[in-house]
Amino acid sequence: MINFGYTIATTRVVNIDNCDFEKLHELEALVPSFKRCMNCGACTATCSAQQFIPFNIRKIKSLFQEAQYDKLSKELEKCMLCGKCTLVCPRGISLRPAIMNMRKILSVK
Amino acid sequence: MLYYFHPFVLPFTLGAIVLFGLCIWKYVRWFKQFDRLQRAVIRKNIFSWRILAAIWESFREGILHIRISRKNLVLGYMHRSIAFGWFLLIVVGFIESHLTPTVNDSHPFWLAIFYRYFMHSHGNFPGAHILTTIMDVLLLYVLSGILMAVIKKIYSRALGMKKATKHVVFDRFAKASLWCIFPLRLLSESLSATIYHNGGFFTQFVGDLIPLDFALTFETTSWLLYSVALGTFFVSLPFSRYMHIFTEIMLIFFREWGVREKKERTGYTMYELSACSRCGMCIDNCPLNKELNVNNVQSVYFLRDLRYKKNKPEIADNCLLCARCASDCPVNIDLMAIRQQERNKRDLDTAGNYSYLDNVQPFNALGRVGYFGGCMSHLTPGITESMKAIFEAAGQRYWFMDEDRSICCGRPLQQQGFNQQAADLRRKITEHIKKSKITMLITSCPICYQTFKKDYKLNIPVVHHTEYINQLIQKGRIKLRKDDLKTVYHDPCELGRGCGIYKDPRQVLKATTHLVKAKQEGEDSLCCGINLGDSLIDIDQQKKIRDAAVENLMYKKPDMIATACPMCKKAFVHSTTLPVKDIAEIVRENMIPNTTAQTNPKKA
């Protein structure tokens, strides 16, 4: 295939009926502000880790909300917990605690 | 020996034996849990001059309670009267009983305690009357302390404490037995004085009011109750908060020998936990208590739960790590270190997450100073820009380490108990710094500063930019004009209480503006609330804490708020109409362009 330098995004259709939202509910109970997200991406733009590698905290958040937990645990380990995302969040979401709690919830098998 | 014996001495004697047995058993057990380095440091320093410092501090703090008096005179009096008074009662009682000629020359150790029961006259030695009087004065001194403790129990505000500690049932039981000891001693001595006329000015006065029949009937009972109160207190001591009496002294010695808290819990932590007297000095000033009315997370409760193994993660996590309690603690327990130990994330704390940092290009900065802005300074570009301008004005060649891409210093991970991951980041940054061969590291963020100073081993001077700017001013490398804006300085927790930097920022500000005082500052400054320590409170709660901190700064109606931490700056900007500036920004604005500095090699 010709390399255009960009690709068509792979399909991300999620059948919500087949999803298990237990972990999301657990997170929302621990960090209620998580629901307030408006997907602006300020967190990702400011992220320290993102400056080194493709690391997208907004995407992680979206995947978590869609109950797509595969590989998230590995991805979250890249975070340095510096807290910049929490400081810039226009919706005042406790993102740093949310990341820690996501790590915790995902580590429970 | 049996001449001076009555069965009522048994509760006291057995209690004392149990007390010392248990204490020694506990201390030996905890000492075995010290780690290798802690033992090595004790071996090194055990016979040094530090032991004199330790003895002096034990007397000052274990008995005279100087630190608590500095915070609150009345509370200081209360603690001192009980500790110092009781200590002197023991010492003078011991002297008195040993000076008295006795049958068979026997001096069982309980003789001093039950002296007035066994000795029916003032001791037959010169000065016996004086000692009797001193003993009465001391008893009154202790009783005055007990009275104050009772008042504090009923209405703590009378003694300047808004909130007193809520004790567990067992502590209350131990306290009740302690409170009984001295009134019972007064009663027993007075009853004996009624019969034998051997009392001092006060016990004899009370004794004379008591009818002889009553005294004859109840004398032994009263002495028995006194002995039981003592015995009960002694037995409950090792399990209650009163364990601090001896443990604080042990702690002072270990600290003086150079033992410090580690990242993991050790035997030293056990000593610290038991050295907490649960006085509650940490409660009133805790921002979580003051602004949010959260009443179960303060250090006193945290340490207590830890000691009784009832600790819950939500208690350890709910703390801003502002260290206000640590500066208020009269025992100087390393509260922040213990809090971070308990946050240990264990299984979540996986190694090797940050391999992506390996391809950071090394930079040869030979002959330059390193400047580390830190993550937070990237959110306040005014600070980093100002620092660049200051470096240039001073003619200082510098290397802005994290200009394009910021690496976290590791302290935020450390604060949340990710020890391995934090060590990982530290290792990577240390390598990066060593390769660059810089001669000095300047940071703008107090969070980074604290960890660079305490956790890294860099072998080069690490300074905060306020210290650095102060040096530049002292050496005349930058010239400043002075404006007459009234400026108040907010002490960031990590810089002030964390690293003890109070002087440099103020000297810089005095050189450029008119510095005014905040209501509470220095060691007593308030936390800005928007920090990384607490992972449980949400933004609205943080804002409440921040607003209180701003309120505190408005005391002298300043025109400008100055701070030295990007996070504090970001916190305050949204809460006040006044300009909020970092010291670097203020210095940059007031810098007189100085061409001579760059060309003058002597000053460079």
Residue with tokens 């050295």: B275
For residue A1, tell me if it sits in a domain. Answer: no
CA B331/CA B241 separation, integer angstroms: 13
What average pLDDT does range B90-115 have in this prediction? Answer: 87
- Find the helix or strand (DSSP H, E) in which B398 lies: strand B398-400
On average, the pLDDT of chain B sits at 92
The closest of B549, B590, B558, B556 to B577, measured between CA atoms, is: B558
CA B21/CA B238 separation, integer angstroms: 10
User: Distance, in angstroms, between A13 CA and closest chain B CA?
Assistant: 30
pLDDT of B127 > 90? The answer is no
Nearest by CB to residue B416, choosing from A53, A93, A100, is A100
- Report helix angle A57-65 to A22-30, nearest 10: 120
Are the Cβ atoms of B540 and A92 closer than 8 angstroms?
Answer: yes
Are the Cβ atoms of B407 and A81 closer than 8 angstroms?
Answer: no
- A84 Cβ under 8 Å from any chain B Cβ: yes
Are the Cβ atoms of B379 and A83 closer than 8 angstroms?
Answer: no
For residue A4, tell me if it sits in a domain. Answer: no
B405 to chain A: which residues are within 8 Å by CB? 48, 51-52
For residue A67, tell me if it sits in a domain. Answer: yes
pLDDT of B406 > 90? The answer is no
Q: Number of H helices and number of E strands within chain A?
A: 6, 0
How many beta carbons lie within 10 A of that of residue B232, not counting itself? Answer: 20
pLDDT of B1 > 60? The answer is no
Nearest by CB to residue A92, choosing from B378, B405, B539, is B539
In chain A, the residue whose alpha carbon lies closest to the alpha carbon of B409 is A82
Sheet with B580-582: strands ordered across: B514-516, B486-490, B560-563, B580-582
For residue A53, tell me if it sits in a domain. Answer: yes
pLDDT reported for residue B385? 95
Using DSSP's 3-state secondary structure scheme, residue B378 falls into helix
pLDDT band for position A84 (50/70/90)? very high
Total domains, chain A: 1
A37 to chain B: which residues are within 8 Å by CB? none
Has the ipTM of the complex gone over 0.85?
yes
pLDDT band for position B124 (50/70/90)? confident
pLDDT tens digits, residue range B132-151? 999 999 999 999 999 999 99
pLDDT reported for residue B281? 92
Are the Cβ atoms of A97 and B530 closer than 8 angstroms?
Answer: no
Q: Which residues, 6+ apart, have CB-to-CB distance to B25 below 8 Å?
A: none
Using DSSP's 3-state secondary structure scheme, residue B471 falls into helix
pLDDT reported for residue B595? 57
The closest of B190, B192, B210 to B202, measured between CA atoms, is: B190
The tokens describing B330, both together, are: 């009269």
Are the Cβ atoms of A97 and B375 closer than 8 angstroms?
Answer: no
The closest of A28, A32, A16 to A66, measured between CA atoms, is: A16
- A37 Cβ under 8 Å from any chain B Cβ: no
The tokens describing B98, both together, are: 């040993």
Q: Which residues, 6+ apart, have CB-to-CB distance to B94 below 8 Å?
A: B112
pLDDT of B95 > 60? The answer is yes
CA B12/CA B7 separation, integer angstroms: 10
For residue A81, tell me if it sits in a domain. Answer: yes
CA B107/CA B94 separation, integer angstroms: 10
For residue A6, tell me if it sits in a domain. Answer: no
pLDDT reported for residue B580? 96
Are the Cβ atoms of A84 and B567 closer than 8 angstroms?
Answer: no
CATH number of the domain within which A69 lies: 1.10.1060.10
pLDDT reported for residue B359? 81
A103 to chain B: which residues are within 8 Å by CB? 348
pLDDT tens digits, residue range B494-528? 999 999 999 999 999 999 999 999 999 999 999 99
- B71 Cβ under 8 Å from any chain A Cβ: no
pLDDT band for position B90 (50/70/90)? very high
pLDDT reported for residue B604? 38
A81 to chain B: which residues are within 8 Å by CB? 408, 412-413, 416, 418, 532
pLDDT band for position B594 (50/70/90)? low
Are the Cβ atoms of A81 and B418 closer than 8 angstroms?
Answer: yes
B321 to chain A: which residues are within 8 Å by CB? none
pLDDT of B213 > 60? The answer is yes
Interface with B, mutate which of A87, A93, A95 (most B CBs under 10 A): A87
B354 to chain A: which residues are within 8 Å by CB? 78, 80
Are the Cβ atoms of B567 and A32 closer than 8 angstroms?
Answer: no
pLDDT tens digits, residue range B340-389? 999 998 888 888 889 999 888 888 888 899 999 999 999 999 999 999 99
pLDDT reported for residue B332? 93
pLDDT reported for residue B596? 52
- B570 Cβ under 8 Å from any chain A Cβ: yes
The tokens describing A87, both together, are: 């400081």
pLDDT band for position B107 (50/70/90)? confident
Instruction: Please give the span between the terminal C-alpha atoms of chain A, in angstroms, as a whole number.
Output: 40
Are the Cβ atoms of A53 and B539 closer than 8 angstroms?
Answer: no
Are the Cβ atoms of A84 and B375 closer than 8 angstroms?
Answer: yes
A46 to chain B: which residues are within 8 Å by CB? 378-379
What average pLDDT does range B269-290 have in this prediction? Answer: 94
pLDDT tens digits, residue range B192-204? 999 999 888 999 9
What average pLDDT does range B549-562 have in this prediction? Answer: 94
pLDDT band for position B599 (50/70/90)? very low
CA B35/CA B268 separation, integer angstroms: 9
Are the Cβ atoms of B405 and A84 closer than 8 angstroms?
Answer: no
B416 to chain A: which residues are within 8 Å by CB? 81, 100
Are the Cβ atoms of B413 and A80 closer than 8 angstroms?
Answer: yes
pLDDT reported for residue B455? 93
User: Distance, in angstroms, between B462 CA and closest chain A CA?
Assistant: 21
- Find the helix or strand (DSSP H, E) in which B8 lies: none
Using DSSP's 3-state secondary structure scheme, residue B592 falls into strand
For residue A5, tell me if it sits in a domain. Answer: no
Lowest mean pLDDT among A11-25, B537-551, B565-579: A11-25
pLDDT reported for residue A71? 85
Q: Are strands B486-490 and B560-563 parallel, antiparallel or unpaired?
A: parallel
What average pLDDT does range A24-47 have in this prediction? Answer: 93
> DSSP per residue over A11-62, as a string?
P----GGG---HHHHHHHHH-GGGGG-----HHHHH-TGGGTS---HHHHHH
- A81 Cβ under 8 Å from any chain B Cβ: yes
What average pLDDT does range B451-477 have in this prediction? Answer: 94
Q: Which residues, 6+ apart, have CB-to-CB distance to B505 below 8 Å?
A: B466, B470, B489, B491, B495, B562, B564, B583
pLDDT reported for residue B600? 47
pLDDT tens digits, residue range B19-70? 999 999 999 999 999 999 999 999 999 999 999 999 999 999 999 999 999 9
What average pLDDT does range B431-444 have in this prediction? Answer: 93
What average pLDDT does range B564-590 have in this prediction? Answer: 94
For residue A11, tell me if it sits in a domain. Answer: no
> DSSP per residue over B174-233, as a string?
HHHHHHHHHHHHHHHHHHHHHHH----HHHHHHHHHS-HHHHHHHHHHHHHHHHHHHHHH
CA B183/CA B162 separation, integer angstroms: 28
Encode B149-160: b = buried (16+ Cβ within 10 Å), e = exposed.
beebeeebeebe
Q: A47: domain range?
A: 16-107
List the beta bridge partners of residue B162: none
In chain A, the residue whose alpha carbon lies closest to the alpha carbon of B568 is A87
In chain A, the residue whose alpha carbon lies closest to the alpha carbon of B412 is A82
Task: Map out the domains of chain B with their CATH numbers.
Answer: 7-245 (1.20.950), 269-346 (1.10.1060.10), 356-470 (3.40.50), 480-592 (3.40.50.1860)
CA B283/CA B289 separation, integer angstroms: 7
The closest of B535, B542, B594 to B570, measured between CA atoms, is: B542
pLDDT of B603 > 70? The answer is no
Q: Which residues, 6+ apart, have CB-to-CB distance to B478 below 8 Å?
A: B390, B393, B394, B469, B472, B587, B591, B594, B597
- B376 Cβ under 8 Å from any chain A Cβ: yes
Size of interface A-B (CB pairs under 8 A): 74
A83 to chain B: which residues are within 8 Å by CB? 375-376, 412, 532
- A92 Cβ under 8 Å from any chain B Cβ: yes
pLDDT reported for residue B185? 95
> DSSP per residue over B122-177, as a string?
S-SSTTHHHHHHHHHHHHHHHHHHHHHHHHHHH-GGGGT-SS-----HHHHHHHHH
Instruction: Please give the span between the terminal C-alpha atoms of chain B, in angstroms, as a whole number.
Output: 81
Nearest by CB to residue A82, choosing from B350, B375, B405, is B375
Using DSSP's 3-state secondary structure scheme, residue B347 falls into helix
Are the Cβ atoms of A48 and B353 closer than 8 angstroms?
Answer: no
The tokens describing B73, both together, are: 């005179």
CA B495/CA B372 separation, integer angstroms: 15
Nearest by CB to residue A52, choosing from B348, B357, B570, is B357
Question: Is the distance from CB of B552 to CB of B520 less than 8 angstroms?
Answer: yes
Interface with A, mutate which of B408, B414, B425, B528 (most A CBs under 10 A): B408
What average pLDDT does range B260-278 have in this prediction? Answer: 94
- A77 Cβ under 8 Å from any chain B Cβ: yes
pLDDT tens digits, residue range B150-203? 999 999 999 889 989 999 999 999 999 999 999 999 999 999 999 999 888 999
